[in-house]
Amino acid sequence: MPRGLTVIAPIRLGEQKRLRDVLRPIGDDIRGRTLKGGAGRPHIDFNRSSSIHFARFAILDDYDRGLDRKRLLYSSNYDGDLDAHVAELIAITSDLDAIWGCCEGYEGRAQFGAFIRAHTSEPDAFYIAFRDETVEDIQRSISLRRQVRSLLDTASAGRLATILPGLSGRQPEWVRVVRRAVTTAGRSLGAAIAWSIRALPIVADLPQAIVRCGFKNVYSGTLRIIASLDRYVVFRCVNRLTRNRLPPLKSVYSSVALDNRSVPVPIVPGDETPSAQDDLSPAFREDVITQNQLTLITVVREGQADRVRAVMAAIDSYARRLAAPGSLIGISTIHFVRWLVIDDGRRLMMISDYDGSWESYIDEFAELILSGLDAIWETSYGYPPDGARDLPAFKWFLRSHQVPSEVFYSAYPEETVLNIVNDRALANACATMAEHIGALQGL
């Protein structure tokens, strides 16, 4: 199963500009095409990695230490264990000190693993589209699909017509039907058993969440998440039994100003917006490839941290135990997404790797998990009075709290979640065909 790493390390005073000057050329050269004047420049050769799905670097504000202080975020999704991931990072980075030497507490390559562990934050909720697929599995499926497409493009219809009947004609029809039925039933049963095993620990998730966050927060947070999910029978029944529904709109008009092209500023007292937006659009490195990245940091209202953690616990439990491969409550554009309650509960961070444009991604979220969005962010400063139903205001809230990534890497940059779902199905179909052909040849 892929793992996630989130490292947040304080940057030494006055080093943020030098660090940004190191990271941006790496982001510009993420595909390994050496830029003019780039010889000898610090570089991370992500293309040599066999285990990193996605990775990013971003520079965050560090308001708790001062208005001029910054933090470095490194986020990745990788296969294997942390030690192997750290070793690979060292191997593919030409000058580790040029990046991490700008951070407080960094003591060189020999202590890099200890440094990473000391600054790692664990997610409170983590969704993985394909929990059983490694980078190599996904890339192998992509390669298979391309080979099959090439074969279909080049093979003549007559040749295929002579090959396939010849193979299938060696068995009576009823034998082939029974074999297909047994194979399909066996795989369906196996999938059902695997799903049941994965879902079983959900029984223990609830009491653990209650102990950590309190019964009231777990109960009200869960109801808030499912208020708009009546398309699912179980949630519809719960909503009817508890009379749970979305609150009435406070206004038929949007709360966002018509001109939202200006630089974002704190929406209400107590709110914070990333200072990086002063000289760079938050859309930096968006729409460069088929996939996109989103990093959000919002400020949690005082006394609401346990409520946020309870919502996160519910999302995490569903994502780990019940979500189907490639789909989070019907959303099929997310590769990885995680939420972290950081800074002793004062802030909430979201890190997402997704398909398509920013606009379509947010629209899909608002359409399919409207109440879930409200449950996640309604405890943050600046959240619209009518939440995600006021879509222009909700989008402005997100843009105002988005942090641009200096570096964004994907191991399969042209593949959507749906592509990978289809590739997995094709790989399974080819495996089944190979089994049948082997059986036929043995007759």
Lowest mean pLDDT among 164-173, 192-201, 210-219, 341-350: 164-173
60 within domain boundaries: yes
Q: Are residues 226 and 341 in the same domain?
A: yes
CATH number for the domain including 241? 3.30.70.100
Q: What is the mean pLDDT of residues 248-253?
A: 87
Q: Which of 22-36, 149-163, 423-437 has the highest mean pLDDT?
A: 22-36
Q: Which domain holds residue 70?
A: 3-121
Q: Are residues 117 and 206 in the same domain?
A: no
Q: Are residues 239 and 368 in the same domain?
A: yes
Q: Categorise residue 7: left if φ over 0, alpha if ψ from -120 to 50, beta otherwise.
A: beta
Instruction: Give the distance between the most distant pair of CA atoms in the chain.
Output: 78
Q: Are residues 214 and 113 in the same domain?
A: no
442 within domain boundaries: no
437 within domain boundaries: no
Average model confidence (pLDDT) across the chain: 86
CA 245 to mean position of chain CA atoms: 28
Question: Which has the closest alpha carbon to 412: 138, 3, 148?
Answer: 138
Q: Are residues 356 and 230 in the same domain?
A: yes
CA distance 206 to 225: 15
Is pLDDT of 249 > 70?
yes
Q: What is the mean pLDDT of residues 248-255?
A: 87
Which uninterrupted H or E stretch holds 122? Answer: none
355 within domain boundaries: yes
Q: Are residues 106 and 228 in the same domain?
A: no
Q: What is the pLDDT of residue 168?
A: 44
Express each pLDDT in 381-426 by its tens digit: 999 999 999 999 999 999 999 999 999 999 999 999 999 998 888 8
24 within domain boundaries: yes
pTM: 0.86
Q: What is the pLDDT of residue 30?
A: 80
Q: What is the pLDDT of residue 251?
A: 87
Q: What is the mean pLDDT of residues 135-149?
A: 86
Which of 121, 154, 169 is the endpoint of a domain? 121
Q: Which residues fall within 8 angstroms of residue 359, CB to CB, at 6 or more apart?
A: 395
pLDDT tier for residue 275 given thresholds of 50, 70 and 90: confident
Q: What is the pLDDT of residue 439?
A: 54
Tokens (6 digits) for 251: 């206004």
Express each pLDDT in 329-375 by its tens digit: 999 999 999 999 999 999 999 999 999 999 999 999 999 999 999 99
Q: Are residues 237 and 91 in the same domain?
A: no
Q: Are residues 265 and 405 in the same domain?
A: yes
Q: What is the pLDDT of residue 169?
A: 45
151 within domain boundaries: no
pLDDT tier for residue 45 given thresholds of 50, 70 and 90: very high
Which of 70, 96, 121 is the endpoint of a domain? 121
* Contact of 115 with 106, CB cutoff 8 Å: yes
345 within domain boundaries: yes
| 202-209, long-range: CB < 8 A, 24+ apart | 202/317, 202/321, 202/322, 205/313, 205/316, 205/317, 205/321, 206/317, 208/313, 209/310, 209/313, 209/314, 209/317
Q: Which residue has the higher pLDDT, 371 or 265?
A: 371
In single-letter form, the type of residue at position 387 comes to G
Q: What is the pLDDT of residue 255?
A: 86
196 within domain boundaries: no
CATH number for the domain including 53? 3.30.70
Domain count, the chain: 2
Which of 81, 100, 121 is the endpoint of a domain? 121
Q: Are residues 109 and 209 in the same domain?
A: no
Q: Please list, residue by residue across 237-261, b when 16 or more beta carbons sit within 10 angstroms of its beta carbon and e when fewer do.
A: ebbeeeebeeeeeeeeebbbeeeee
Q: Which residue has the higher pLDDT, 163 or 291?
A: 291
